[in-house]
Structure 1
Amino acid sequence: MKSKKMALISLLVALTAIGAALKIPAIIGSVALDAFPALLAAALLGSPAGAIVGGMGHLLSALLGGMPLGPLHFVVAVEMAFLAFVFSLFYRNRKRWKAGILFILGNTFAAPLPFLFLMGKAFYLSIVPSLFIGSVLNTIIALLIVPRLSPIVELVISKERASQ
């Protein structure tokens, strides 16, 4: 992987720590603005970068939040990586609204499905509204910021290619 791209991925993973500190009160715990850096990486740098930022970013966010779900956060990290990967596939094929809607639906209803079986229906139903709000906010932020950052990221990456 190229050095500037790795640096951008690292910055976006670090940005998840800032997003993790921005909490939205929820029925169970809180929802953080830690997913939008993964969406930024997915849209600007591609599917693998989005998956890396999504997975690592969630683990960093969970660590900063005290990891109340413990090892189950590794399941969520894999889900976030997958959701960011899929978001990138649609976004980079100019299906931006579909990418956003799929991320929101996936993060709201599909991602917490393992908890339905592990923690019960009450937990699942109580976490879904909070996840919906967080997913919508993270997606809106990403969809607003990506078009503004895209020319800058393309310039940085093209300069790196030219210097090789």
Structure 2
Amino acid sequence: MEISKLKKLILTALVAAICVIGSFIKVPGFVATAALDSAPALISVAFLPPLYSGFAAGLGHLATALTSGFPSGPFHLLIALEMLIITYIFNVLHRNGLHILKWIFFIIGNGVLAALPFYYLISPAFFIGAVPSLVVAAVINAVITAIALPIIGKVSAKGKYEIYEKCD
């Protein structure tokens, strides 16, 4: 049974709301707005399609930016788009059984690659200052997800609620 579009939207909104809660838990850093907003979106790969998980992650980053005072200004829209893409790819890797690769991709993607445009847009110093806290935040988000994802996957697979949808 495929879940309806309305249920997917509701689940996405709920995951995004939990991402907002995670946005209040900041990871200290010099220049970056790193927080625990990614974990709920990563956990949602157990029951949401890639694009929906990605949207939840993008909204989660915008909440982090909002609660941090938008220190990077309009660049946060770029970061939200990067989070959408990173979570989308993480979801696809998860669904295709590439479990080790998804973790490596997420940590490098969120911790280093997402900051790379700012090497050129702001400065090399900004990039160097941002990467350590982004990598730490990515690892923390990954650990939280690695603990919760198997539990959520088992519950959604064996319960009376069929919320997991295979990608083609």
Task: Verify same fold: TM over 0.5.
Answer: yes
- Aligned partner of 1:148 among 148, 151, 164: 151
2:55 to 39, 52, 55: 52
Q: C-alpha offsets along residues 119-139 of structure 1, whole Å, 9 cap, x if unaligned?
A: 111110111111110001101
CA contact (8 A) 1:17 1:64 kept: no
Q: TM-score, normalised by structure 1?
A: 0.88
Q: Any residues of structure 2 matched to 1:61-140 within 5 Å, and which?
A: 61-140=64-143
Structure-2 change in CA distance of 1:54 and 1:71 (3 Å) = same
Report if aligned partners of 1:5, 1:157 keep a CA contact under 8 Å in 2. Answer: no
Counterpart amino acid of 1:92? R
Determine the C-alpha separation between the residues in 2 that align with 1:53 and 1:95.
22
Between the aligned residues of both structures, percent identity stands at 35
Quote the residue 2:40 is aligned against: 37
User: Would you say the 8 A contact 2:46–2:156 is kept in 1?
Assistant: no
Shift of 1:30: 4.8
Gaps of 5+ in 2: 164-168
Contact 1:4 1:157 in 2 (8 A): no
Could you list the runs of 4 or more consecutive aligned residues of structure 1 that deviate by over 4 angstroms after TM superposition? none
User: Please, what is the CA RMSD of the aligned residues?
Assistant: 1.9
SS, match of residue 27 in structure 1: coil
Cα deviation, residue 29, structure 1: 4.9
**Aligned-pair distance for 1:152?**
3.2
Native 8 Å contact 2:39 2:142 kept in 1: yes
Is this contact kept in 1: 2:111–2:138, CA < 8 A? yes
Whose helix proportion is higher, 1 or 2?
A: 1
Q: Which of structures 1 and 2 has the larger relative contact order (alpha carbons within 8 angstroms, sep 6+)?
A: 2
TM-score (normalizing by structure 2): 0.87
What is the Cα deviation at residue 17 of structure 1? Answer: 1.3
> Mind listing any 5+ residue stretches in structure 1 that lack a counterpart?
160-164
1:114–1:146: structure 2 CA closer, same or farther, 3 Å change rule?
same
Paired residue total? 160
Amino acid at match of 1:40: I
Alignment check: 8 A CA contact 1:43 1:87 kept = no
Which stretch of the first structure deviates more once superposed, 62-71 or 21-30?
21-30
1:88-118 per-residue CA deviation (whole Å, 9 max, x = no partner) reads 1111111112101101001111111111011
Q: Which residue of 2 aligns with 1:158?
A: 162
